[in-house]
Amino acid sequence: MAARDGKRGGRRGKRVGRRGPTVRVKTARGRKPSSTRWLRRQLNDPYVAAAAKQGYRSRAAWKLVEIDDRFGLLGRGAWVLDLGAAPGGWTQVAVERAPRGRVVALDRAEMEPVAGAEVRTVDLDDGAAADALVAELAGLIDLVLSDMAISATGHRGTDQVRNRRLAELAFDVARRVLKPGGGFAVKAFHGGGDADFVAELKRGFREVRSVKPSASRAESAELYLVARGFRGGGEG
Ligand SMILES: C[S@@+](CC[C@H](N)C(=O)[O-])C[C@H]1O[C@@H](n2cnc3c(N)ncnc32)[C@H](O)[C@@H]1O
């Protein structure tokens, strides 16, 4: 069922095929070379085409499809908290795959509603807003997803530190809202102290795996850490 229907109950295991013939992009007067490169990449990206066809708001949706196909995180009745959700591709996938559950999706940026999800504008850097969310959802959530990322500055070290901080913010929320046995999938990046972060996760969960979905661009340092079997401990 296409996500654009806004109904719950999608099928598992959709696959994105290989790319078609390469689309060439002429250099237009006034267009920067970086914009031409971006346009060429978009036009030749099978995940962009497949997302449009499926009614997903972002190509990122395919990353969660692949992660969930592999790890089976999204039970049909799961209560899910989706952090850094805009424009909403992951939220659409969560609603499809947890048709009898509850999906709360938030982002610091405003996001169009997603049928079947509760969409909120929350900046997790705002401690009071994060605490209010935690107070409402403490101990109720089966799965926390975080695809949060900063807008890249281009300075690798700075970007790594700021993205790592977002992953830690997500973990801090996760350990306060998850039910024992719950799961957590979080965007991380190679470098920037990921070994320490994995060690922290291992203290909180029985199993921690890393995955680079094929929809994640090869040239990007992005990867995802998937943690299962939350040991509990809540506010501790
Ligand atoms: C890569 S996008 C998420 C894409 C989304 N998973 C999808 O499938 O459409 C990263 C998001 O993280 C959000 N974000 C970054 N910092 C945040 C914060 N402190 N609190 C909430 N959201 C944040 C950004 O606004 C951005 O929308």
Helix (H, G, I), strand (E, B) or coil at 14: coil
pLDDT tens-place string over residues 10-41: 444 456 765 566 766 666 667 777 677 666 66
Q: The sheet that has 79-83: what strands, in order across it?
A: 117-121, 102-107, 79-83, 141-146, 178-189, 222-230, 205-211
Q: Compute, in angstroms, the gap from residue 107 CA to the centroid of ligand 1.
A: 6
pLDDT tens-place string over residues 80-123: 999 999 999 999 999 999 999 999 999 999 999 999 999 999 99
Active site residues: 187
- Residue 4: pLDDT band with limits 50, 70, 90: very low
Q: Compute, in angstroms, the gap from residue 99 CA to the centroid of ligand 1.
A: 23
What pTM was estimated for this model as a whole? 0.86
Ligand 1 binding pocket mutation candidate from 65, 108, 121 (most atoms within 8 A of CB):
108
In 84-177 the beta strands, taken as DSSP E runs, fall at: 102-107, 117-121, 141-146
**Domains of the chain listed by start with CATH number:** 21-54 (no CATH), 61-230 (3.40.50.150)
Look at residue 159 in the predicted model and tell me its pLDDT.
Answer: 86
165: pLDDT strictly greater than 60: yes
pLDDT tens-place string over residues 187-234: 998 775 678 899 999 999 999 999 999 988 888 889 999 999 999 975
Residues with CB under 6 A from ligand 1: 57-58, 60-61, 84-90, 107-109, 123-125, 147-149, 166
